[in-house]
Structure 1
Amino acid sequence: MIDQHRQAFKEEAYELLAELESSLLELEERPDDQDLIGRVFRAMHTIKGSGSMFGFDDIASFTHEVETIFDMVRNGKLQVTGRLVNLTLAARDQIRAMLDAADSGEATDLQASAGIIVGLRELAGFQGQVAAEAHKEEVHEAQKDPVTYRIRFAPAREIFVSGTNPLTLIAELKELGACTVVAQTAGFPCLEEMNPESCYVYWDVILTTDQGENAIRDVFIFVEDDCELKIEPIAEHNRYEEQQDYKRLGEILVERGDITSDAMRAVLSQQKRFGELAISQGILHEGKVQAALAEQQHIKEVRQEKQVAEASSSIRVPAERLDLLVNLVGEMVTVQARLSQTAAQRDDAELMAIAEEVERLTAELRDSALNIRMLPIGSTFSKFKRLVRDLSAELGKQIEMTTEGAETELDKTVIEKLNDPLVHLIRNSIDHGIERPEARVAAGKPERGTVHLSAVHSGDSVLITIADDGAGLDKEAIRAKGIERGIITAGAELSDKELFNLIFAPGFSTAKTVSSVSGRGVGMDVVKRAIEALRGSIDITSVRGEGTRIMVKIPLTLAIIESLLVKIGNDSFMMPLALVDECVELTREDVAAAHGRNLAHVRDQLVPYIPLREHFAIPGAPPEIEQIVITQVNGVRVGFVVDHVIGEHQTVIKSLGRAYKDTEGISGATILGDGTVALILDIPQLVQAAEAAQA
């Protein structure tokens, strides 16, 4: 159980660190935003408290130092500066390193931690005198004006599961001042219905303190999402207050919301004492009356001595369980296809009705399971803000990153595999695209360059665009490098699209100097392979002096895709439907008219095609009329000749075994309804192989 709690803490801490990074980057732009300052403080406070609770003492003690600084910022004793943001981002990275080290067992860099702490303490020292005076004034004022608060703390029933003990929070409250606590036990079930891991009690607390409401809220900051918390100031104690009796019992209960005014008046119309009558008539539980009486008595004693958030309905599920669920749904889709095919062959109306119902339920289950794995791409976008910030500072450039469509959802697996290619594309935009400030001013542009990242749904795919307003691609430099590398001939006539695609050749780079960012000719070919491995495509447009736009098209999910089922002889193949434009016939006359060239005349255009029977060396004679499936890869139309086009098909992707994983032109396999295997064609790789063979 302890290990489960530690793992839960780590998962929550990683989420908090991601939120912390995005909050700090926003705070750098809006240093006076109190909401952002509060978010940073709460993230640190939660990591510190939970870390201490689950044995991460090094993280708790280190985070305490940063939390202290942001407590000063929150109270107006310290200003947000670039140095403070830099140190806090470094602290965030160090906390993440500590979390990673807890898994790997490696020692953390204590010297780095110490350096960050020294820097933070220096910042606090600059304001030491002002802070001390402000603190002195605050204490003086607080001592002069203590306040009594009415607190209702109702933890979620499952609070024990997270390892939180509510009594430690009550004990912490008592340290703030004179405190009266009444436990409400009306929610306890019968003994046989009681769950020992559930919390059935809540507390009414009356607290007199000179610390202020923020100090009270800080006590409950770890469990804000797991409790109902109400804090109301009910009395101020100073030398000018009138010494009069506190509110009557009925008035207190109406204020608390435990009884209505009408019910109070109905009880008061009788002769007995209010509390006794309310209990005897079943209007109130005895505990609630006791709490109100305790509040009344507490105020009397203080004067004599001189004076939220609802429980979260979401649950955390390990990614492995979601992957298993999607795999099982995939198996079910395969079985459902087999059932439908069997029902059609038997021509049994009742069996057909059952098969149709199973097909409907399976489709709903498939969509629901895939939607569970969907995440907004904004979680990836937020990471890139830090990349742009750090890299622009390293290169001496002024760059702003803007985003659009952060709410666009993608499969979790796709997002994870997309991270590295996008990082490289953004780094290239910053290094090659955006000019230095002096060069931009000379070109009539603003000093600050812009990298715009956007995402939008397009059918069963997502279009991700990285656009910059930099210098654009130098076509002549690309052409010269292509000739030098022997990729193209000196007299070759290429369109802009074909020219720009040269930068995806292995080892291609036009950088004149090698930097820590780029210039070694490693990367863009890897980016293209990574995108194509996701069954996606990448397209570049650029205008010299105005900027470059790179568009990446990625399927929503990798688990189940819509495909076109085709046959060559007795073999079945799948082609991703997202890449298919249309299907046309290829007759013997068409082949003869092409004079030995693999070209088809389609809608007044010549479309090159690849005969798959020849490519895969499949024996047998083709039919008199074949079919050309025309696809579009990187903006270029290419046809694939097959014997027959069967139709659309829900394809559950199965990876190939180790012996076949490097087979050219095949990206996976699927099982058809009759139990046979169909291979999934890797369209971009087949086009690439044909181009290489032609060259």
Structure 2
Amino acid sequence: MDEDFELELRKVFLREADINLEEAEEAYLQFSQNPPSELLARCFRLAHNLKGSAKAVGFSDIAEILHRLESFLLKLKNKELNVSQKITNILLATNDKLKFIVEQIKINTDYKIDTKNIIAEIDQIQSEESGLPIGNAPNESQDLKEGDIFVLYDINEVEEAKNNILSNKIEEITKQKINTTKKIINEEVIRVSLNKIEKLQNYIGEIVIIESMLEEQIKQESNQNLKNYYRLLKKTTKEVQEIIMGLRLVPIKPAFQKLLRTARDTSAQLGKTVNVTFVGENTELDKFILDELSDPLMHMIRNAIDHGIEDNDERVAKEKMREGNISVNASHESGNLVITVADDGKGLNPTQIYESAVKKGVISEDVKLTDSQCYELIFAPGFSTKTETTEISGRGVGMDVVKTNIEKLNRKIEISSVLNMGTNFKIKIPLSVGIMEAFIAEISNQKFIIPVQQVIECLSLRKSNLTYLTGIENIIKLRDEEISVIDLSLGLNLHKKKEEKLKDRVIFIVQANAIKIGAIVDKVISIQSVVTKNLGEELRCESGIIGSVILGDGKVVPILEISQLVNSRNFQNNLQKSISR
């Protein structure tokens, strides 16, 4: 066999193994004392199919492990063994080891696999649960029974099937293989490297910037044909841009699956009974953002189980259900991904957090903090309320990782908590990065970017009926709903124009925590696609400024998150100062 072709086959197998092992872990995590037969059959199929693929590309050691695993799963499927906690643990552990082996082979194709220990562990649990001598596993001819027909991916597997099952099944296998092939062809699925997509997106970003520069020049031209061609170019570029952005979107389900595993292992280690529920597992977001979210969500789940959920007996004493509950919810809101992690545990005690922070030197004793500010202390590096260090907590390296990773995305976490009722963490982040549709607005002769996804509605200030309340705040009545309206120039501490020049002023209606806010800008210059750039470290402290954009004239313009901006301390201080002017 040609070496390049063989190498490509092995790469395909490793990608298939990644998907297969993730699916297997998901299935094992659904095991109970009496799992449905469909779930057991699915696990058996996964092991069988991956074994065949491993044999086909020469990974005989992996195939040997999977053959023993397949035999073990067959006993479970045929009810010769009952599923127990110990069996689920060994299945998950074996799956983890197979994942590790696959990752090592990706680095070094000559990686030596220790199959003896892995197989010995499977045989040991099988012996303990069944009472049979170790190694008394069914041979391969026993594996395939009536109804156990699977897609075979290589000629070796077909030959094996000929020798081990009735000849009248061969036609059925062939038909199944043809039908599966047709399905794959119809779906027209192709795997593309994320690096290639990122490069393509960067080039599209450059095209969008050049396009905006071209637009500045075309405004000065009188040639109508040239303007028409530009409009066609802009339309095509936007369509390509949307396709590329869609390529980067992936469901959050894989991250949820890892959280379920984290919750299972942590609760077992702590001896707590915890139910974890997930809502919105098919919610899509950018692959880059998903990668950045994985670690924070894992630490939040571990923190909720360790610090939030009480021990079983303590919950009973508080007249709560013995089982603790954690819910993780993902949804789309105004072009953003919103993730909440909520538990029904003991809640955050601001006094205890404050005292622990003072004791550990995180803050000085003379500093006075509100409850909300005390909650923020749990993100401080080195902070922990635990007096003893364990494998799970006490080192102060958990929630600070959450804060660091979320701040990389230019976002913050909102915390709400009620003692003995529970705690809720809320993260609101953009669905994607790179290119977006945005308003280019002018405030006191300065340009700002406001993403279209933030805005619910735009109104003309001149045509709106504003009701005066205070020196800094007004009310607008919109379809029987009263909405607070704020002048952004005051909060941004920008010199205000004379009123007679402000006939084009616009009110942007946005929503924050189910509350609508009106934000006044001097005028909207245009709506166009813009390429986002990350902020420097010196600007990350400015709440409400989430990035920047390079416009066609070469100027760098900040992107505003209005709901975050108007609630920031600096913005509110500037509003108060404007009253005394």
- Please indicate the TM-score interval, normalised by the length of the shorter structure: 0.7 to 0.9
Q: Does 1:401 align with 2:404?
A: no
Task: Give matches, 1:494-505, under 5 Å.
Answer: 494=370, 496-505=371-380
Task: Give matches, 1:339-488, under 5 Å.
Answer: 339-481=214-356, 485-486=362-363
Q: Gaps (5+ residues) in structure 2?
A: 462-469, 476-482, 575-581
Residue 510 of structure 1 aligns to a residue in which SS? coil
**Residues of 1 paired with 2:519 and 2:484: CA distance?**
16
Task: Give the letter for the 2:242 counterpart.
Answer: D
Q: Does 1:228 align with 2:107?
A: no
Residue 220 of structure 2 aligns to a residue in which SS? helix
**Residues of 2 paired with 1:349 and 1:523: CA distance?**
60
Partner of residue 2, structure 1:
6
Partner of residue 16, structure 1:
20
> Structure 1 residue 392: deviation in Å?
0.3
Residue 465 of structure 1 aligns to a residue in which SS? strand
> Structure 1 residue 434: deviation in Å?
0.6
Task: Give the letter for the 1:457 counterpart.
Answer: H
What does the per-residue CA deviation read over 1:429-479, in whole Å, with 9 as the maximum and x for residues that have no partner? Answer: 111111111101111112111111111111211111111111111132234
Q: Does 1:315 align with 2:190?
A: yes
Residue 71 of structure 2 aligns to a residue in which SS? helix
Q: Does 1:336 align with 2:211?
A: yes
Task: Give the letter for the 1:544 counterpart.
Answer: L
Q: 1:171 to 1:116 in 2, by over 3 A?
A: closer
Partner of residue 54, structure 1:
57
Match of 2:531 among 641, 644, 652: 652
**Residues of 1 paired with 2:327 and 2:178: CA distance?**
40
Match of 1:673 among 541, 552, 558: 552
**Residues of 1 paired with 2:150 and 2:570: CA distance?**
73
Q: 1:437 to 1:134 in 2, by over 3 A?
A: same
Partner of residue 84, structure 2:
81
**Contact in 2 for aligned 1:77/1:130 (Cα 8 Å):** no
**Contact in 1 for aligned 2:486/2:518 (Cα 8 Å):** yes
Q: 1:482 to 1:647 in 2, by over 3 A?
A: farther
> Structure 1 residue 407: deviation in Å?
1.1
**Residues of 2 paired with 1:131 and 1:409: CA distance?**
46
What does the per-residue CA deviation read over 1:242-263, in whole Å, with 9 as the maximum and x for residues that have no partner? Answer: xxxxxxxxxxxxxxxxxxxxxx
TM-score normalized with structure 2 length: 0.77
> Structure 1 residue 541: deviation in Å?
1.5
Match of 2:66 among 59, 63, 68: 63
**Residues of 1 paired with 2:355 and 2:454: CA distance?**
32
> Structure 1 residue 89: deviation in Å?
0.7
Match of 1:511 among 380, 383, 386: 386
**Residues of 2 paired with 1:460 and 1:177: CA distance?**
55
What does the per-residue CA deviation read over 1:490-523, in whole Å, with 9 as the maximum and x for residues that have no partner? Answer: 665x3x5444334334444333433322233333
**Residues of 2 paired with 1:65 and 1:133: CA distance?**
11
Residue 348 of structure 2 aligns to a residue in which SS? coil
Q: 1:135 to 1:5 in 2, by over 3 A?
A: closer
> Structure 1 residue 607: deviation in Å?
7.7
- Paired residues in the alignment total 536
**Residues of 1 paired with 2:410 and 2:376: CA distance?**
18
Residue 375 of structure 2 aligns to a residue in which SS? helix
Q: 1:310 to 1:637 in 2, by over 3 A?
A: closer
Task: Give matches, 1:140-219, under 5 Å.
Answer: 165-166=154-155, 168-176=156-164, 207=167
Q: 1:685 to 1:98 in 2, by over 3 A?
A: farther
**Residues of 2 paired with 1:102 and 1:686: CA distance?**
52
**Residues of 2 paired with 1:464 and 1:475: CA distance?**
24
Partner of residue 548, structure 1:
423
Q: 1:108 to 1:170 in 2, by over 3 A?
A: closer
**Residues of 1 paired with 2:136 and 2:381: CA distance?**
64
**Contact in 2 for aligned 1:77/1:131 (Cα 8 Å):** no
Q: Does 1:42 align with 2:45?
A: yes
Q: 1:488 to 1:340 in 2, by over 3 A?
A: farther
Q: 1:662 to 1:55 in 2, by over 3 A?
A: farther
**Contact in 1 for aligned 2:331/2:338 (Cα 8 Å):** yes
Identical-residue share of aligned pairs (%): 31
Residue 345 of structure 2 aligns to a residue in which SS? coil
Task: Give the letter for the 1:171 counterpart.
Answer: E
Partner of residue 124, structure 2:
122
Partner of residue 99, structure 2:
96
What does the per-residue CA deviation read over 1:303-326, in whole Å, with 9 as the maximum and x for residues that have no partner? Answer: xxxxx9665622222222222232
Q: 1:177 to 1:3 in 2, by over 3 A?
A: closer
Q: 1:327 to 1:63 in 2, by over 3 A?
A: same
Residue 228 of structure 1 aligns to a residue in which SS? helix
**Residues of 2 paired with 1:668 and 1:439: CA distance?**
46
**Contact in 2 for aligned 1:608/1:638 (Cα 8 Å):** no
Aligned residues: CA RMSD: 4.6
**Residues of 1 paired with 2:418 and 2:164: CA distance?**
65
**Residues of 1 paired with 2:416 and 2:340: CA distance?**
11
TM-score normalized with structure 1 length: 0.65
Q: 1:5 to 1:83 in 2, by over 3 A?
A: same
**Contact in 1 for aligned 2:101/2:113 (Cα 8 Å):** no
> Structure 1 residue 685: deviation in Å?
10
Q: 1:608 to 1:500 in 2, by over 3 A?
A: farther
Greater RCO, CA 8 A, separation 6+: 2
Task: Give the letter for the 1:175 counterpart.
Answer: N
> Structure 1 residue 525: deviation in Å?
3.6
Q: 1:471 to 1:367 in 2, by over 3 A?
A: same
Task: Give matches, 1:101-116, under 5 Å.
Answer: 101-105=104-108, 114-116=116-118
**Residues of 1 paired with 2:405 and 2:511: CA distance?**
18
What does the per-residue CA deviation read over 1:549-572, in whole Å, with 9 as the maximum and x for residues that have no partner? Answer: 111111110122344535689975
Partner of residue 466, structure 2:
none
Segment of structure 1 superposing worse, 662-671 or 76-85: 662-671
**Greater C-alpha radius of gyration:** 1
**Residues of 1 paired with 2:438 and 2:432: CA distance?**
13
What does the per-residue CA deviation read over 1:630-687, in whole Å, with 9 as the maximum and x for residues that have no partner? Answer: 999999999999997645443212457xxx6666558654332344444557997999
